[in-house]
Amino acid sequence: MTEHAAESLAAAVAISTVTGEREGILRMGDYLRNRYPLVMSKMLCAAMPDGSLLLRWRAGEKTEKLPVLLCGHLDVVPPGPGWTAEPFAGSRMDGYVCGRGAVDCKATVIGLLEAAENLLYQGYQPGRDIYFAFGADEETGGMGGAAAMAQLLSRRGLHFDLVLDEGGCITENHLGCSEHAAALILVGEKRSCNFRLTATADGGHSSTPGRCTSLGALCEAVCRIESAQPHHRLLPVVRKYLEDSLPAMSFGKRFAVCNIPFSQPILARVFRDDPRMSALMRSTVVPTQMEGAPAPNILPVLAEAVVNARLLPGDTPGELLEHLRALLTDLPVRVELITDGGESPLSSPEHPMYHLLCAALHETFPRLPCLPTLMPGATDSRHYANLADCVLRFSPLVRTARENAGVHGADECMSELSLGLAVELYMDFVKKL
């Protein structure tokens, strides 16, 4: 099972499916159809115009149970610099499958399809309808893939017991503690939105500048935004995550968490050395793009920057827009909201589907703690949020620091043993549905 899954993932990684490369996405679809003949012959498969795939596995018998939706995506980000091996070779080295997409998110797609193919080979019939949705543009927002598939499912009047997408994983060193493993099950995600800053000033030649330039005003605006981040706020789910993570913390952090709410005013300072943990306690606003004049000897009349915000549930783009405008009111800088990814509601860790997922994990890892938390980033799952009572973000992949470092970075790789284990865990989970 592990060998077949590793071969499948290596071949999938060897197909370049950078978002927007339609030919590569279509080749990936053809590859999956050939690699998983039982899945494609026994399930109803709809290919979307952009190459996204939507599959339906019918229940063996008529049932009142609501269906579930299992998600992943076919596209990947560009390789970027720093690779020591060819990013689209799909090489296998020292027990790892290496290449762009090995973790994000082709391991999840391959794990799901390997599990389904094996169950079909065994003659298994699910107790409820199971849908699979594999988007082709998740890395750029999912509007052509997941959003279109969500609209299709909505038009058919479907409602799901569960949407399960990528996101969390099984970590061997939770919070950097090598003796503490945990399954991080993400019950929500932060809202993503982008703002454009536009500064204006007199143009001209760089040899005769005025007292203030548009780029200088823009830089001042960026510095203010970086130094005046939104206030920290502790959501109940994040507090539970902190309390459940106590065994992996140092004494000082344990002391602070154990004394909430008295320590809450200083909690952000206690965790400031951990950017991921800090991001769970506040909305973040960070500049990501800037543009000025087209040549080095021109004073730009307009200078623009884009800042990306990730909002905690409960915070809104409108509130943040007012905060930014008030912060920059004395500068010649205009602020406008340009994109809003939409809010994704929190799912309850008390939902039966959450407990079902934990039960499947505990069959293989009896003492593994399952920790509900937030995802700082965004996934395709938000497009399906209105179609389900429970939306979880988790792949049963054991990931070390090496695998985590490769996500959107250089030398991305996935352990073959972890992939084989994920196939078994997906099979166990499907049987419990």
Confidence tier at 319 by pLDDT (50, 70, 90): very high
Tell me, yes or no, whether 76 and 17 share the same domain: yes
Instruction: Average the pLDDT over 79-106 and give the result.
Output: 94
Tell me, yes or no, whether 35 and 183 share the same domain: yes
pLDDT in tens, 50-69: 999 999 999 989 999 999 99
Determine how many CB atoms are found less than 10 A away from the CB of residue 231: 9
Instruction: Average the pLDDT over 406-429 and give the result.
Output: 95
Confidence tier at 274 by pLDDT (50, 70, 90): confident
- State the residue for tokens 């004494």: 251
**CB distance 136 to 73 below 8 Å:** yes
What pLDDT sits at residue 227? Answer: 93
Tell me, yes or no, whether 14 and 163 share the same domain: yes
pLDDT at 268 over 90: no
Domain boundary among 308, 340, 372: 340
Instruction: Average the pLDDT over 176-192 and give the result.
Output: 92
Range of the domain at 209: 191-340
Tell me, yes or no, whether 101 and 218 share the same domain: no
Domain boundary among 340, 356, 386: 340
pLDDT at 377 over 90: no
Instruction: Average the pLDDT over 382-401 and give the result.
Output: 94
pLDDT at 357 over 90: yes
Tell me, yes or no, whether 270 and 399 share the same domain: no
Tell me, yes or no, whether 139 and 12 share the same domain: yes
Please list the residues that pair with 182 across neighbouring strands.
171
Tell me, yes or no, whether 110 and 127 share the same domain: yes
Tell me, yes or no, whether 67 and 179 share the same domain: yes
CATH number of the domain within which 14 lies: 3.40.630.10
Strand, coil or helix: 132: strand
Tell me, yes or no, whether 36 and 130 share the same domain: yes
How many domains, in total, are found in the chain?
2
CA distances for 194 relative to 156, 217, 261, 292, 412, angstroms:
32, 20, 33, 19, 28
Confidence tier at 91 by pLDDT (50, 70, 90): very high
pTM of the model as a whole: 0.92
pLDDT at 1 over 90: no
Strand, coil or helix: 257: helix
Domain boundary among 340, 359, 387: 340
Tell me, yes or no, whether 381 and 329 share the same domain: no
Determine how many CB atoms are found less than 10 A away from the CB of residue 269: 12
pLDDT at 381 over 90: yes
Tell me, yes or no, whether 135 and 231 share the same domain: no
Tell me, yes or no, whether 317 and 404 share the same domain: no
Residue type, 139: E
CATH number of the domain within which 235 lies: 3.30.70.360
Strand locations in 89-201 (E): 91-93, 96-98, 130-135, 162-171, 182-189, 191-200
What pLDDT sits at residue 343? Answer: 86
What pLDDT sits at residue 179? Answer: 82
